[in-house]
């Protein structure tokens, strides 16, 4: 996959999956525009000094104006990959409105606003483009979301947004897809579940390869897909 001379936005690019995605894009020749919430989020980002990495201080991506400013800085946007999100686990009986809205803002609103800004930027360029979102396994398998209904609902909304938007913008040459991981093999997940079978979890580098294909010029026909990246669990 050749991304030379292509500009890609990667929200959540300083995280575990984001770092793998940015690394793979850089190897393929891309220029990556990575927004961040606070300076602390960039300290351990291994690609921060790469000449084709452009770190952009945006604050929260649930802010419409901040998202618009981010996309206005990107010349000739080819792809936008939306990895920002959050997870919370609690039964419905213990989830108040504030906790529900936090999941909706973190997972759905950030994705929606980034999709909106990306579509507008791609429309200005008139060369099409690619958008890749991140749903989750419970977003597709709702019963698996028991005990985390707010998270499940927000990610199911991301999946629905992806499919609806894919139909809306296909005529403009913009292909929209998403991936749905299970539990990814990250340091945080290993710490939270030390006794799990970590070998069965999908690796972030493996998930990144699926994202790269969906975001690439090689993807000429796939749209509206929620690609499951479950590993062996």
Q: Which residues are catalytic?
A: 151
Q: 168 in helix, strand or coil?
A: helix
Spacing of C-alpha 139 from chain mean position: 14
Residue among 195, 167, 166 at smallest CA distance from 183: 195
CA distance 63 to 186: 28
Tokens 């069965």 correspond to 200
Cβ partners under 8 Å of residue 132, min gap 6: 79, 80, 81, 82, 176, 177, 178, 179, 211, 214, 215
Q: Decide: 21 and 13 in contact? Cβ < 8 Å.
A: yes
Token pair in block for residue 118: 């990306």
Cβ partners under 8 Å of residue 89, min gap 6: 147, 148, 151
Token pair in block for residue 146: 């028991």
Q: Decide: 210 and 132 in contact? Cβ < 8 Å.
A: no
CA distance 152 to 179: 15
């Amino acid at each position: 996959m050749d991304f030379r001379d292509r500009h890609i936005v990667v929200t959540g690019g300083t995280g575990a999956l984001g770092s793998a995605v940015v690394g793979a894009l850089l190897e393929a020749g891309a220029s990556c525009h990575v927004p961040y919430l606070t300076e602390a989020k960039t300290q351990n980002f291994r690609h921060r000094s790469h000449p084709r990495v452009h770190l952009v201080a945006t604050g929260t991506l649930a802010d419409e104006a901040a998202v618009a400013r981010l996309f206005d800085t990107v010349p000739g946007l080819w792809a936008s990959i939306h990895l920002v999100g959050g997870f919370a686990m609690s039964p419905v009986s213990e989830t108040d409105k504030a906790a529900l809205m936090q999941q909706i803002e973190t997972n759905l609103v950030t994705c929606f606003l980034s999709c909106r800004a990306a579509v507008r930027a791609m429309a200005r360029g008139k060369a099409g483009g690619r958008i890749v979102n991140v749903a989750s396994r419970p977003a597709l398998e709702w019963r698996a979301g028991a005990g985390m209904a707010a998270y499940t609902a927000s990610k199911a909304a991301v999946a629905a947004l992806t499919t609806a938007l894919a139909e809306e913008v296909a005529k403009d040459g913009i292909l929209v897809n998403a991936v749905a991981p299970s539990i990814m093999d990250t340091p945080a997940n290993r710490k939270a579940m030390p006794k799990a079978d970590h070998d069965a979890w999908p690796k972030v580098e493996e998930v990144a390869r699926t994202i790269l294909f969906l975001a690439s010029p090689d993807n000429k026909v796939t749209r509206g897909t929620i690609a499951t990246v479950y590993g062996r669990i």
